[in-house]
């Protein structure tokens, strides 16, 4: 019997115009430039339906203006030009923990949070000074805007559009997409990255930087181009079966 092979259908959004923005990490100026390009592109594309704009998470830490990044996402949402879906990255997961847990302050400030607390007007303490870190945590929690707290509270873990699944980090191979746990969606790396299996959807993700250019595989698209060391922030534009990348520099 000859083997019957069907031609694989390219993944599609089902027609919808979708943009997904990679890990921003405090680079508000790059995000502003990228969003301006996306807005121009969306206008020129004349989509039948409001375009979807997905942010794959990791808005804060590393770069100089975490606060400005969240403000920009909230402004974009308020403009009504896009349906905005903001996903939760592991850095937002950690920031939420810092807001609740003084005992986590020293470790978070020492590893990740210093530039973030500075962007909210708090002078960073010496990370090894536990008491000073706990005082900074209390000041930060008091200064943290209500609108930003609400934003962190409503971040999504995943979004599906047609043949695409958008997540921050990835999915656990061998586990059904509807049975994935939040920790994997926000934190997984190599078990996901090294897996060539068909996950059932093409996974659009960030989290593990691919230096300067997006990484395109049959089963996933990595749009984290490591803005904090490459200076390049990347978005993917998907419409029907078409796929294109848009980049902005720091
Ligand atoms: Mn991440």
pLDDT number for residue 159 = 98
Sheet strand arrangement including 159-161 = 159-161, 164-166, 202-205, 220-222, 215-216
pLDDT digits (tens, 9 = 90+) for 178-188: 999 999 999 99
Cα–ligand 1 centroid distance for 211 (angstroms): 15
pLDDT digits (tens, 9 = 90+) for 141-154: 999 999 999 999 99
Can you tell me the distance from the alpha carbon of 236 to that of 214, in angstroms, rounded to the nearest whole number?
Answer: 9
Cα–ligand 1 centroid distance for 89 (angstroms): 5
Pairing relationship of beta strands 220-222 and 202-205 according to DSSP bridges: parallel
pLDDT, averaged across the chain: 96
- The phi and psi torsions of 28 (rounded to 5 degrees) equal -65, -35
Can you tell me the distance from the alpha carbon of 244 to that of 237, in angstroms, rounded to the nearest whole number?
Answer: 5
* Residues, CB-to-ion distance under 5 Å, ligand 1: 58, 89-90, 207
Cα–ligand 1 centroid distance for 7 (angstroms): 35
pLDDT number for residue 1 = 55
Cα–ligand 1 centroid distance for 81 (angstroms): 27
Task: Taking residues 113-130, report their average pLDDT.
Answer: 96
**pLDDT at 233 exceeding the cut of 90:** yes
Name the pTM for this structure: 0.96
pLDDT digits (tens, 9 = 90+) for 80-91: 999 999 999 999
- The 3-state DSSP class for residue 228 equals helix
* Domains assigned to the chain: 26-89+155-249 (3.60.21.10)
Cα–ligand 1 centroid distance for 75 (angstroms): 23
Q: Which residue is associated with the tokens 């375009």?
A: 51
């Amino acid at each position: 019997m000859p083997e019957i092979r069907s031609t694989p259908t390219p993944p599609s959004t089902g027609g919808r115009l979708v943009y997904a923005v990679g890990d921003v990490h405090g680079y508000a100026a790059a995000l502003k430039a990228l969003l301006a390009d996306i807005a121009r592109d969306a206008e020129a594309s004349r989509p039948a339906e409001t375009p979807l704009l997905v942010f794959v998470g990791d808005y804060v830490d590393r770069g100089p203006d975490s606060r400005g990044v969240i403000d920009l996402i909230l402004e974009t949402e308020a403009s009504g030009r896009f349906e905005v879906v903001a996903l939760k990255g592991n850095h937002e997961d950690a920031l939420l923990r810092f807001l609740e847990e003084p005992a986590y302050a020293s470790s978070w400030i020492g590893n990740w949070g210093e530039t973030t607390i500075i962007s909210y007007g708090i002078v960073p303490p010496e990370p090894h000074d536990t008491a000073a870190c706990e005082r900074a945590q209390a000041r930060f929690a008091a200064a943290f805007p209500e609108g930003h707290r609400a934003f962190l509270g409503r971040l999504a873990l995943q979004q599906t559009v047609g043949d695409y699944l958008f997540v921050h980090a990835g999915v656990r191979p061998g586990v059904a997409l509807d049975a994935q746990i939040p920790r994997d969606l926000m934190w997984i790396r190599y078990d996901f990255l090294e897996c060539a299996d068909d996950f059932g959807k093409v996974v659009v993700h960030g989290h593990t930087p691919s230096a300067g250019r997006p990484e395109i595989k049959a089963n996933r698209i990595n749009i984290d181009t490591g803005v904090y060391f490459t200076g390049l922030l990347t978005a993917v534009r998907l419409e029907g079966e078409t796929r294109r990348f848009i980049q902005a520099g720091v």
